[in-house]
Structures are given as C-alpha cells and as structure tokens.
Amino acid sequence: MANIRTVQVIGKRILVRERQSEVMTEGGLHIPESVQKRVFEADVIAVGDGCRENVKPGDHIIFERNAGWGVGIDGVDICILDESDVVGVIDDEKWIQITELKPPDRKPLSEYR
C-alpha cells in the first residue's frame, strides 16, 4: 500500500482504497479498462468519529454500487464512503464451501395423467 498523508475523516464517513479488478484473463489476455467490471470491495484506511464500531481500519469491506466519491491524495486514488454504504465486512480468514444446488427429482408429465 502506498504512503499518503494522514487524513482525519469527519462524521459517519469511511476512507477506503478500492480493490482493483482483474486486468488479465486466466488465458493471459489483457482486459481493456473500458470493459473491466468495477469491484465493490475496498480496504478501510480510516474511519470517522461518528461511525459505529462495526468497521475499523484494515477491514476488507463490500460497498453499494455508485457509492461514495473518489479523491486523489498524494497521487493515490482513494474513495470516501458514508457508513450506510457499507454492506458488509469480509473475513479473509474464513471460507465456506458453496455446493452446486441439485434440482428436486421430478416425474415425467406422462405419470400425472
């Protein structure tokens, strides 16, 4: 992470650095910036004094689409979010397994006649 000057966030605002989207496919092809998806994840840099204790510096968060506004400080692009724009905190240590959902067994229509 780059070094920036200390920023005191005021009120119920959160200063974050957005995570970057993938710029290369698994096959090694470059994805142009115009078609890259915006990643709605960020790392928290600072938290305003009006925020609850749910979010703290260093947290990895998910935020709402079109939330916040970007600013540049010392050549680093960062984003300021309202506390209410934060959807959740991601625990990078815990993983769950998502299994493929199997449709229920169905009888052919001919058996219902």
Going from N- to C-terminal start, the domains of the chain cover 13-112
* Confidence at 36, pLDDT banded by 50, 70, 90: low
User: Higher-confidence residue: 105 or 11?
Assistant: 11
Q: Which residues pair with 62 in a beta bridge?
A: 41, 88
What pLDDT shows up at residue 52? 82
- How confident is the model at residue 96, as a pLDDT? 65
Q: Which comes out higher in pLDDT, residue 100 or 77?
A: 77
Candidates 28, 18, 19, 85; CA nearest to 51 is 85
The model carries a pTM of 0.64
The CATH code that applies to domain 13-112 is 2.30.33.40
For residue 93, pLDDT beyond 80: no
Kindly give the residue spans of alpha helices, DSSP state H, lying in 10-86. none
Is pLDDT larger for residue 103 or for residue 12?
12
User: Looking at this protein, which amino acid is placed at residue 78?
Assistant: I
Predicted local confidence at residue 24, as pLDDT: 66
Query: Confidence band (pLDDT; 50, 70, 90) for 33?
Result: low
User: Running DSSP on this structure, what letter comes out for residue 20?
Assistant: P
Mean pLDDT over 36-50 rounds to: 79
